[in-house]
Amino acid sequence: MSWTISPAVADILKQGAAGEGLNRDQALTLMALPLHGRESYALMQTADALSRERFGGKGENHFHIGLNVAPCPLNCRFCALTVEAGIFTESVTFDDGQLLEWARNAEAQGADALNLMTTGNFPLARFLEIGRLLKSAVRTPLVANTRDITHKEGEALLAAGFVGFYHAVRLGEGRDTPLKPEKRIATIQVIKDVGLCWMNCVEPVGPEHSPAEIVELMLLARRYEATYSGVMRRINFPGSPMSGHGMISELEMARLVAVSRLVMGDIPVAHCTHEPNGAALMAGANLLFPEVGASPRDGQADTGKGRGQAIDRCRTLHREMGWDPDRPSNCFRQAVAGGQMKMESQV
């Protein structure tokens, strides 16, 4: 075993540690490091130290609520909520009482955001109603996680109380999904234009994805200045057409989280991993997603009764790995301040 780090890798890590971000070639160099080698662990420690310094030790929990279970006609190959998956044959939207219960419980347990997810054909008018309902009931910031939108629809989301929008150009976009990367990127620009915080993740990563295409999405997150980015691995639900590819390990995901973190540099205010795991919390991630309701990774209608992790479990995981979930969130300070300034200017 080598006890030294090559000068080239050391120089990349030094630049990354300074929060300067990395370019494509530097990121690909890190992607090629042996997973169990000293240099990979040095990479993860560098990313971890950068996040702990820049994020002030804060452990973020963004509570995912999947609003509806439905056989979605978009048929993304990695998603359990599709017609072709055949797992869910009827459309069901969780009722207002259930949504309010989840939201209030999440707030009481210290959630930093509510991430409201829908299938691709969920009516936007109903989504706005739910946003207004939850906005009136809890103070926890609302993040939309729904289909591509126009500027007018983005402004409607803002008016309904949303402060953020999770949106990703997925790996295999246009190949494993019916959507084009250009359309997804256009929505990212809409999100930025209307003043929503853009939340992102490089996902869903599987063994079939090349280092080059993974790094390209890391660089996209930096180029469009995501509020947070990170890495999510693909989870193969029962009968998934992607099962033949297998899945990456949590350790491999942690290494990818670290590369993504150094690529992002001083831009993000948090860095995510999914599903919740301890390894990535030692590699630059500080943001976890507890889950209830529908999930693209689960055959249960309510993932809170299946794969989904409870918020108390995620908070415990943060504490076990030296992150403090009780500190104020870093993600929405600018958005809240901007909203206050806008209100003051109208008085």
Residues 6+ apart with CB under 8 A from 48: 258, 282, 283, 284
Q: Pick the closest to residue 48 from 227, 267, 223, 278 (CA basis).
A: 278
pLDDT of 129 over the 70 cut = yes
What's the rounded Cα separation, in Å, for the pair 242 and 81? 14
Residue 250 preceded by cis peptide, ω within 30: no
Question: pLDDT > 90: what percent of the chain?
Answer: 93
- At residue 12 the predicted structure's pLDDT band, cuts being 50, 70 and 90, is very high
- At residue 4 the predicted structure's pLDDT band, cuts being 50, 70 and 90, is confident
**Burial degree of 139 (CB within 10 A; 0-12, 13-18, 19+):** exposed
User: Residue 340: what pLDDT?
Assistant: 37
Mean pLDDT, rounded, for 160-181:
97
Query: What are the domain boundaries of the chain?
Result: 7-341
What are the residue ranges of helices labelled H in 202-266?
A: 211-223, 250-264
The reported pTM is 0.95
Q: Pick the closest to residue 286 from 49, 108, 76 (CA basis).
A: 49
User: Which tens digit of pLDDT belongs to each residue from 65-98?
Assistant: 999 999 999 999 999 999 999 999 999 899 999 9
If one looks up domain 7-341 in CATH, what number appears? 3.20.20.70
pLDDT of 343 over the 90 cut = no
User: Which tens digit of pLDDT belongs to each residue from 215-224?
Assistant: 999 999 999 9
What's the rounded Cα separation, in Å, for the pair 175 and 171? 9
**Burial degree of 136 (CB within 10 A; 0-12, 13-18, 19+):** exposed
Strand residue runs (E) in the chain: 60-66, 68-69, 92-93, 113-117, 142-145, 162-166, 197-199, 202-205, 228-233, 270-274, 287-288, 291-293
Mean pLDDT, rounded, for 124-147:
98
